[in-house]
Homo-oligomer: A and B are copies of this chain.
Amino acid sequence: MQTTNNPKETLYPHVSVDCVLLGIHDEQLCVLLTERRDAGTDRTEYKLPGSLIYETEDLDDAAYRILNEATGLKRVPLKQFRSFGSPRRTANKEDVLWLENASKLKIGRIITVAYLALCKVKRLKISDRYGPAQWTPIARLPRLPFDHEEIIAAAVREIRVWLDMEPSIVFDYLPQLFTVSQLRRTYEIIYNRNIDVRNFHKKMNSLGYVVQTDETEQGMPHRSARFYRFDKKEYHRMRNKLNTI
């Protein structure tokens, strides 16, 4: 892959970054998987988007690079949530062969640092670098290489904690104008439970940073829903107030 000895273009074959990019498609929580073509076979297998880091690349920068290569997105909040380093990660020789082939490097052991994001499905641009990407329901994952299944399970647990502590990430996911229903469905799918409609309305109206607009959703075969927007300034004002107590 690399063509020079410039450390910015030289891979560091000991540490990788994998991104668990979550999104919602057909009312299901999905994860973005990229195709992995095994040399010499015509099977198509899937894996988490990820890559070895470069010699002088920061972990966060590597995660944003992978995000961008896989989706075309740039400013989605990404969270490092755990590192996986079991020596048995590379127990499957087929996985190692594939990686050695893809990186042109001799691979021994690899520690991977896992990142998490909530992404808009629609904005997805298919990357030509790592093969096409595909949203796959969490509930119907194919067999994945290394410990990617374990990483995804940890990510699903983690995003709920993250969303509890930093509700703004859900607004990066939604369009600028959204209805309370869209917001509620998003929560329901991420937490995998039903949420009471009235209580949810009350809650959102009490927050202060979810504000009504005068616009409504048109063309629905039922009463039209009001659009709301996320007030980022108010959100950060409230957050700072809490932190300084």
Q: How far is the CA of A239 from the CA of B222 in the complex (A)?
A: 44
A96-131: which residues lie under 8 A (CB-CB) from chain B? 108-109, 111, 113
Rounded to whole angstroms, the CA-CA distance of A14 and B55 in the bound complex is 11
Q: How far, in Å, is A58 (CB) from chain B's closest CB?
A: 5
A83 is an interface residue with CB less than 8 A from chain B: yes
- Tell whether A55 pairs with B85 under 8 Å between CB atoms, given A14-B14, A14-B15: no
Decide yes or no whether A82 CB sits under 8 A from chain B.
Answer: yes
Selected from B58, B59, B82, the residue in CB contact (under 8 A) with A80 is B82
- Report if A40 contacts B (CB, 8 A): no
- Report whether A15 and B111 are in contact in the complex, using a CB–CB cutoff of 8 Å: yes
Number of copies: 2
* A191 contacts chain B at the CB level, 8 A cutoff: no
Q: Given A111-B15, A111-B111, decide whether A58 and B83 contact each other with a Cβ distance below 8 A.
A: no
Interface hits, A41-100 → B, CB 8 Å: 53, 55-59, 80, 82-87
Least Cβ distance of A197 to chain B in Å? 21
Do B86 and A83 have beta carbons less than 8 Å apart? Answer: no
Residue numbers in B under 8 Å from A15 (CB-CB): 14-15, 85, 111
What is the interface residue range for chain A against chain B? 20 to 34
Q: Across the interface, do B109 and A59 meet the contact criterion of CB distance under 8 Å?
A: no
Chain B residues closer than 8 Å to A111, beta-carbon distance: 14-15, 59, 111, 113
Cα distance, A87 to B109, chains bound together (Å): 20
Tell me if A227 counts as interface (CB < 8 A to partner B).
Answer: no
In the complex, the chain B residue whose C-beta lies closest to that of A114 is: B83
Which residue of B has the minimal Cβ distance to A245? B193
Say which residue of B58, B83, B84 sits within 8 Å of A87 (CB atoms): B58
Interface residues of A (CB under 8 A from B): 12, 14-15, 53, 55-59, 80, 82-87, 108-109, 111, 113
In the complex, the 4 A-B pairs of residues with the closest C-beta atoms, listed nearest first: A14-B14, A59-B85, A83-B83, A56-B87
Given A12-B109, A14-B111, A58-B86, 12 extra CB contacts under 8 A = A14-B15, A15-B15, A15-B111, A55-B109, A58-B85, A59-B83, A59-B86, A59-B111, A83-B83, A83-B113, A85-B113, A111-B113
